[in-house]
Structure 1
């Protein structure tokens, strides 16, 4: 007989500008991202309301090291005792407490990116933290009590990662923004071609429900339609065909 999988509960936690998700499986759970600086008490209170004391958190997974996702990471690591998992590309950013602002994908967001980059240059944006698990490829999460795996998801940033569960839910950080009714293309991405590759992987993975860092969960149909728009935009700007 196949193993009996624990029932999965997904809780969206107030983390400031971006969502923090608690993935609860039985008497353990994984936190996906860590909100803005100063949001640790709200996040810990939400985990308790979901029926988990902080020490029951088995892992803190960081989709990427931007301040609205890593802001309370050091404090949550201390409060839970859980190891921090991120891409190996993000280690330097976590150790310094600062990360570059991503590139814009349109005229307005390109301007915002340049201004933000100048303002934030050299500034500590969150308390530095030493990551415990560095991702270089896919990684199974069964040892942490979660039926799923971590996969690289470059595009928004070089070190973005995602959590794919066996119940067809995917936690994708800022690989997509579900803010507009017609598109989930993020306003910022360092590498649009990598983003196209990552989205194709998501569609091929079997995931049906996507949980972004910004906006509400959305379906694979919306992701597929947005992928077509993203490919056409990248082709117009580069003059190259993207297969």
Structure 2
């Protein structure tokens, strides 16, 4: 089950892409509950951080330069970074928990991140990310396309059969 966030979310689901099964795997490193990995050992000034909300396994990178790489935690522009409103933050086509996304984004803004680079659109300034995070915080259960805040099981994986 995926928790759609926009009118075009159901179209995305009908494409079949989100329902494609995937093979289970065992991660080399498991990040959860605010855990971080120091990236200096790899020559990068920054940390990788567990940032659930879009999915339970979402990860972001916070760099010493003030840049944050946030994947699909946030998007911008019409049609996922497309033609217009590229400087306007928006929700991705689906997300597990908008309240968690809000908390993660606010935490990065408060930690001093200045530019947010995402999988679709951007980059966005911290001021715009803060505005978006506050709007997510104010979502009310039961609103159209806000239903995902009411017991949605978005993170349940659909596993494929192992390859033999």
Fold shared by both chains (TM-score > 0.5): yes
Report if the CA contact (8 A) 2:12-2:93 is conserved.
no
> Which residue number corresponds to residue 218 of structure 1?
124
Quote how far apart the aligned CAs of 1:185 are.
2.6
Q: Which has the higher strand share?
A: 1
> Which residue number corresponds to residue 103 of structure 2?
197
Quote how far apart the aligned CAs of 1:192 are.
1.2
Higher RCO (CA 8 Å, separation ≥ 6 residues):
2
> Which residue number corresponds to residue 77 of structure 2?
179
State the aligned residue count.
136
**TM-score normalised by L of structure 1:** 0.48
Quote how far apart the aligned CAs of 1:228 are.
2.8
> Which residue number corresponds to residue 31 of structure 2?
135
Report if the CA contact (8 A) 2:6-2:93 is conserved.
yes
Report SS of the residue matched to 2:138: helix
2:11 to 112, 120, 133: 112
Q: In structure 2, what is the Cα distance between the partners aligned to 1:129 and 1:178?
A: 31
Q: In structure 2, what is the Cα distance between the partners aligned to 1:104 and 1:209?
A: 26
Q: Deviations over 1:128-177 (max 9, x none)?
A: 77643322311211111111011111111011010001111100000011
Decide which structure has the larger Cα Rg and report it: 1
Report if the CA contact (8 A) 2:54-2:95 is conserved.
yes
RMSD: 2.9
Establish whether residue 188 from structure 1 lines up as the match of residue 84 from structure 2. Answer: no
Structure 2 gaps, min length 5: 79-84, 150-164
Q: Residues 132, 216 of structure 1: CA spacing in aligned structure 2 closer, same or farther, 3 A cutoff?
A: same
Q: Which has the higher helix share?
A: 1
Q: Is 167-176 or 190-199 further displaced after alignment?
A: 190-199
Q: In structure 2, what is the Cα distance between the partners aligned to 1:122 and 1:218?
A: 31
> Which residue number corresponds to residue 162 of structure 1?
60
Report if the CA contact (8 A) 1:178-1:184 is conserved.
yes
Q: Deviations over 1:97-117 (max 9, x none)?
A: xxxx742113431x2354356
